[in-house]
Amino acid sequence: MAIETAKELAIYLLDRDEINLYQLPSNLCDDFDVVLAAVKAQGSELEDASERLQDDREIVQVAVEGDWWAFRYASERLRDDKEIVLCAVRSYGKNLKFASERLRGDMSIVIAALRTEPHALEYASNKIKDSALVVQAAIEYDDSTIVHASERLQEQYSKIVKERENG
């Protein structure tokens, strides 16, 4: 394979993890093919992609599927994309912290987050933290997550947890 352009060389080196996106000129950090190669090799390369490509659904999806850490670099718009957020919280529940306020209040998103990290309840909306169903799910994984529930549910469940410990 003959390499004829800077773009081809960048993709070749990124594919082999011999270079990082931050080492490239800004025009290549805004090139779809170059950034796609970078995030396929290492999802967290999304950090050094242009803002335009941090807002590209395909780029972010590939990055998040490959590296749970990458979600924090997604655009605000994509932090409000239910499919992207589900992928992120299924990889690491505490990615809920970076989701939009709207999705931190979505029961299905929060439950998915709790399955991988019960303490993700900390980042759920106040309404969700006051949901007996969600809090019950969280404490079934880990009793200590009760500290992230609403005060009302903390009082209610702390009695149950103490009974379990003493019983």
1, pLDDT greater than 80 = no
How confident is the model over 58-102, as pLDDT tens digits?
Answer: 999 999 999 999 999 999 999 999 999 999 999 999 999 999 999
Same domain, 46 and 106: no
In a domain? residue 131: yes
164, pLDDT greater than 80 = no
Give me the percent of the chain exceeding a pLDDT of 90. Answer: 81
Same domain, 100 and 165: yes
26, pLDDT greater than 70 = yes
In a domain? residue 83: no
Question: What six digits make up the tokens of 161?
Answer: 């947890």
Domain enclosing residue 45, as ranges: 1-75
Residue 38 is classified by DSSP as H
In a domain? residue 10: yes
In a domain? residue 20: yes
CA distance 104 to 72: 14
Same domain, 50 and 13: yes
Please return the burial class of 46, using the count of CB atoms within 10 Å of its CB with bins 0-12, 13-18 and 19+. buried
CA distance 91 to 43: 12
| Total domains, the chain | 2
Tell me the pTM: 0.87
Same domain, 71 and 128: no
In a domain? residue 52: yes
> Under DSSP, is residue 99 helix (H, G, I), strand (E, B) or coil?
coil
